[in-house]
């Protein structure tokens, strides 16, 4: 059975990016030793599903004079109805789809994938609305940004979060790990 996880940073007021999609506030906390568990999380993931906007933001962040420094070692599926331009050097690692979340998971499961990392505001929200998120790991950054792209949007039904673990880092970041239980989905 395929499992879907969210691993995301958010401001205390619940935003995962500024309205212009910048992520600069994520660096507002003092650095800590290590990566707050991201490498261990990524080691458990065998495919990543993200939205077009998130893909374009990542591309912008990793593009340099020496080409792309692509940060993912797993296949990436980009959800988009308009199909972003995938650079030639990523053609063997990035695919696009206009499918709905359930169809994406069914396809990935049929191809042998077992753990999906779901990333990007609208993508996370669409998977939540479909009842397809199994766990959520949120690292709360100690900053208020006042406005931005919310982590969570409207839901037809409550999503009960079952607390697994909370880690408080010396820089004030608080990482909370939840399992989900969908009601009415």
Q: Note whether 143 and 16 are within 8 A (CB).
A: no
Task: Assess whether pLDDT exceeds 90 at residue 156.
Answer: no
Contact 36, 173 (CB under 8 A): yes
Q: Are 17 and 26 in contact (CB under 8 A)?
A: no
Return d(Cα 96, Cα 16) in angstroms, integer.
23
Q: Quick: pLDDT tens for 118-127.
A: 999 999 999 9
**3 state DSSP class of 24:** helix
Identify the band that residue 185 occupies on the pLDDT scale cut at 50, 70 and 90. Answer: very low
120/20 Cα distance (integer angstroms) = 14
Report the distance separating Cα 50 and Cα 176, nearest Å.
21
Predicted confidence (pLDDT) per residue in 74-96, tens digit:
999 999 988 788 999 999 999 99
Report the alpha-carbon distance of residue 117 to residue 124 in Å, rounded. Answer: 10
Least confident range from 26-30, 61-65, 111-115: namely 61-65
Mean pLDDT of the chain: 92
The per-residue pLDDT for range 4-53, each reduced to its tens digit, is 999 999 999 999 999 999 999 988 888 787 788 999 999 999 999 999 99
Q: Which CATH architecture has domain 11-113+126-163+178-182?
A: 3-Layer(aba) Sandwich (3.40)
């Amino acid at each position: 059975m395929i499992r879907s996880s969210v691993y995301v940073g958010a401001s205390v007021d619940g935003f995962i990016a500024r309205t212009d999609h910048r992520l600069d506030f994520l660096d507002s906390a003092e650095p800590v030793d290590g990566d707050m568990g991201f490498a261990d999380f990524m080691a458990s993931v065998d495919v990543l599903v993200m939205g077009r906007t998130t893909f374009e933001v990542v591309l912008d962040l990793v593009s340099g004079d020496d080409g792309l420094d692509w940060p993912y070692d797993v296949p990436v599926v980009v959800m988009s109805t308009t199909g972003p331009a995938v650079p030639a050097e990523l053609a063997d690692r990035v695919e696009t789809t206009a499918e709905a979340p359930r169809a994406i998971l069914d396809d990935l499961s049929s191809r042998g994938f077992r753990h999906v990392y779901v990333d990007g505001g609208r993508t996370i929200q669409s998977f939540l609305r479909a009842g397809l998120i199994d766990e959520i790991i949120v690292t709360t950054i100690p900053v208020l940004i006042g406005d931005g792209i919310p982590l969570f949007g409207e839901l037809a039904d409550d999503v009960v979060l079952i607390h697994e673990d909370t880690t408080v880092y010396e820089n004030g970041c608080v990482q909370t790990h939840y399992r989900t239980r969908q009601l009415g989905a």
